Structure formats: structure tokens, C-alpha cells
Amino acid sequence: MQLSREHQRLTEHSLDIEDQLTQLRQQNSAELASLERQLLYELSVCVLELDAVVSVCVQSANGEEPNISCLLGVPRKILTVTIQVISFAELFTFLM
């Protein structure tokens, strides 16, 4: 009889732990998705800024007067679209 009660208590405890684990996984998944979106946004900004620097370098290498005004800011419209990108593969497809 006592073994049966102990088994019941351990089973309930195990179920409680499984529920807690499920909740933590869901919470971590949401946090991970948020961090991934932030990383993709920051990565897209870096790529756009690098593209502007390369453009200035190419203009200079071609003997042209470099248009440094493109280094003053990143077009917000492109960034708004980029924020909606979900995966790295989609990001690189979008930027290429």
C-alpha cells in the first residue's frame, strides 16, 4: 500500500516536471524567435552599410567622384521590409 502511494506521488511529480519543461520550452522558443528577428535586422543593416561602402570604393576605383551621401543613412523602406524576413536563407535571397 505504501509503495502504491509512493509510486502515485512520484508519477504526479514527474507529470508536474514535464509540464514545467513544456512551459519553459515554449517560453524559450518565443525568446529565441525574438532574438533571431533582432539579429536578422542588425545583420541586414550591416549588409546595407557594407554595400554603400563598396559602392563608394568602386566609384573611387573607377576614377569617379565618390558619392559619400549614401553613407549617411540606410533607406528605411528596405529595413522595414527586411524586418519581416524570417530566416537567414530568405534574408540573403532578399539582399542578393
For helices 88-95 and 2-61, angle between their N-to-C axes, nearest 10 degrees: 10
Q: What is the pLDDT of residues 60-85, one digit of tens each?
A: 899 998 888 877 765 554 555 444 55
With contact defined as beta carbons under 8 Å apart, do 23 and 15 qualify? no
Is the pTM higher than 0.85? no
User: From CA 83, how far away is CA 22, in angstroms rounded?
Assistant: 29
User: From CA 72, how far away is CA 36, in angstroms rounded?
Assistant: 27
Whether residue 23 is predicted with pLDDT greater than 70 in this model: the reply is yes
The four Cα atoms 12, 18, 24, 29 give a dihedral, to 10 degrees, of -150
What's the pLDDT score for residue 77?
46
